[in-house]
Every structure is written in C-alpha cells, then in structure tokens.
Amino acid sequence: RFPVEDAKVSWKVPWPEYSPVPFVAPSVLAAERSDTNPNGWADSPRPNLAELKHRLSCEGPLFFDADQRPVNPRGRTGVCGRGMLGKWGPNRAADPIVTRWKPGDKRKLQIVAIQRGDTGVWALPGGMVDAGEVVSVTVRREFAEEVGNMASDAERAAFNAAVDELFAHGEVVYRGYVDDPRNTDNAWMETTAFHFHCTADLAVQLPLRAGDDAHNVTWLDVDDAEPRYAALYASHKDWVD
Ligand code: RP5
Ligand code: MG
Ligand code: MG
C-alpha cells in the first residue's frame, strides 16, 4: 500500500502526490463474470455503471473517480482497484453476534468467535452475501458453514434444531461500513450485524465445530483483558461492545 497517514485519509485533504498501488488479486481475476464464466462471483474488470447504479451503499450515494470507479466513502487506503474483493464499491456481508452468559459467571458475556483461516485473527463467523440472497439468510448460512461443520447426521440435526431456535429472535445492531483490511479506494466491505442471545440450556444443545474458512471456534469472553477479544478482526469488537 501507498502509506497514508491519518491526517491524509480524507479525500477533502488535497494531496496531489497520492499514488495508490493498483491491485487485483489473482483469485478475483479468475472469478470475473464474463460470457465464458457467467456464474463468476467477481465483477467484470471495467466497472459497469448501469450495474453499479443499483448497488446500494449504507454510506449514501456512490461517487465515482475519473475512471468511473466507485470511491471509498471513508477515504484513502493506499490501494486502488478491487484488491482481494470481488465487487466494485460496497461488498456486502452479514455477521452473527451470538452471545451467552458465561457458565458459572452471570456477569460476563461470551460470544461465538472463529479464528480466520486467512489471517489467523479471531472474528465473528460472518461472510459475504451471495447473489440474490437476503442478509437474514446469509447470516444463518455463514454461521452454519463456519461453526456448524458437524461430523454426523445426528450432530447436524442437533445443530440445526438449536440454530432454528436461536435465530428465531434476532436484532440488527449495526449496518454499514466495515474497517476491513481488504478495503481499497474502490472496493470496501459493508455488513449487517445481527445479535442472537443463547440461553444456557440452548448453549448446551449447540455443538460448535469449525468449518470452511474458519480454523477454530470457541465461546470467547467479551473482555478487553482477553487478547483474542481485544484484537477482534476489523470493526467486529465495536459492534459487540
Ligand atoms: C468482514 O469480513 C465482515 O464483517 C465479515 O465478517 C467478513 C466477510 O468476509 P469473509 O469472512 O467471507 O472473508 O468485513
Ligand atoms: Mg464464510
Ligand atoms: Mg467468514
């Protein structure tokens, strides 16, 4: 990345020398939608204005640079292009915040947290919204993929029954920009974070097993003295707090 100090993040600060590094990950290039790859999850190499007009951002209307690329509403990142993200502009995700009172200590909350396979950092078990999917479906699908990697049909049935009950009552606690390390000047993460509270009885029936892009899963203390919680991925700690 081109180094950007805090005082120069805002686009309102003139900075003629600013020269972000262009980058598109090979995994994104390989997934670009085209006539030969109609089901690709990534946008075409050139931003398509007709398509982008319908891409809603929680941050307000999209603005475009001279190359018709959407501009990151929160400012400069030091990288231009899509980087590791598939879509120009907002890339939508959903995040489940599943809480319970810590067994034996009713004054302490815990959350279901996973260790990300890409960076090794602990995070909420969230993920990207698939094409045509509503976020309330994404949040459950990602939870099941990342922490419900069950070893047997019986275990899977127990997990699904517990999740049916758990996800029946949820509340949106955050909707907007994510301070994700993959963000660029032209592509960024936005999410909807849902809160689901798990009773002690239900927690006993909810088996947790990491899967997909999660390497580990645990009930993690919501406590700044817990290093994995203090260093939670991107802006995840802000929403839990
Ligand atoms: C974060 O990246 C979101 O808050 C969500 O947790 C996650 C989605 O990306 P993947 O986990 O699919 O990489 O910005
Ligand atoms: Mg996932
Ligand atoms: Mg994920």
Largest CA distance in the chain: 62
Examine residue 14 and state whether it is found in any structural domain, yes or no. no
| Exposure class string for 179-211: b at 16+ Cβ within 10 A, else e | ebebbbbbbbbbbbbbbbebeeebbeebebebb
Q: Is 38 exposed, middle or buried (0-12, 13-18, 19+ CB in 10 A)?
A: exposed
Q: Is the CB of 124 under 6 A from ligand 1?
A: yes
Determine, yes or no, domain membership for 13.
Answer: no
Choose one of 122, 178, 188 to mutate for the ligand 1 pocket test, by most ligand atoms within 8 angstroms of C-beta.
178
Nearest-CA residue for ligand 1 atom 6 is 126
- Atom index in ligand 1 nearest the CA of residue 118 equals 13
Position 79: which residue type? V
CATH code, domain carrying 109: 3.90.79.10
Nearest CA to ligand 1 atom 7: 127
Q: What is the pLDDT of residue 60?
A: 92
- Cβ of 187 less than 6 Å from ligand 1: no
Orientation angle between helical segments 153-166 and 135-147, nearest 10 degrees: 140
> For residue 86, is it within any domain?
no
CA 93 to ligand 3 centroid distance, Å: 9
Q: What is the DSSP letter of 30?
A: H
- Which residues, 6+ apart, have CB-to-CB distance to 20 below 8 Å? 1, 2, 76, 77, 78, 79, 80, 184, 185
Total of domains in the chain: 1
Give dist(CA 213, CA 92) in Å, integer: 17
DSSP 119-173: T--EE-S-EEPPTT--HHHHHHHHHHHHHB--SSHHHHHHHHHHHHHHTTS-EEE
What ipTM goes with this model?
0.98
Does ligand 1 have an atom closer than 6 angstroms to the CB of 178?
yes
Q: Decide whether any atom of ligand 1 lies within 6 Å of the 97 Cβ.
A: no
Q: Is the CB of 84 under 6 A from ligand 1?
A: no
C-beta of 127 in contact with ligand 1 (< 6 A) = yes
Q: What is the pLDDT of residue 233?
A: 98
Domain-embedded: residue 119 = yes
Q: In this structure, is residue 85 part of a structural domain?
A: no
145 phi and psi, to 5 degrees? -65, -40
pLDDT in tens, the chain (241 residues): 999 999 999 999 999 999 999 999 999 999 998 889 888 899 988 888 888 888 889 999 999 999 999 999 999 999 999 999 999 999 999 999 999 999 999 899 999 999 999 999 999 999 999 988 999 999 999 999 999 999 899 999 999 999 999 999 999 999 999 999 999 999 999 999 999 999 999 998 898 999 999 999 999 999 999 999 999 999 999 999 9
4's CB contacts (< 8 A; 6+ apart) are 18, 75, 76, 77, 78
Q: Which domain holds residue 164?
A: 91-240
Q: Is 2 helix (H, G, I), strand (E, B) or coil?
A: coil
Establish if 82 belongs to a structural domain: no
Determine the Cα–Cα distance for residues 27 and 185; give it in Å rounded to an integer.
19
Residue 52 has a pLDDT of 85
Which ligand 1 atom is at minimum distance from the Cα of 235?
4
Tokens 């689901």 belong to residue: 196
Q: Which residues surround ligand 3, an ion (CB under 5 A)?
A: 127
Is residue 212 one of the residues assigned to a domain? Answer: yes
Residues 6+ apart with CB under 8 A from 77: 1, 4, 20, 183, 184, 185
- In short, whether 95's Cβ falls inside 6 Å of ligand 1 is yes
Q: How far is CA 235 from the centre of its chain?
A: 9
Q: Does the Cβ of 142 fall within 6 Å of ligand 1?
A: no
Among the bound ligands, name the one nearest to the CA of residue 96.
1
pTM: 0.94
Residue 50 has what pLDDT? Answer: 84
**Residue 167 maps to a domain:** yes
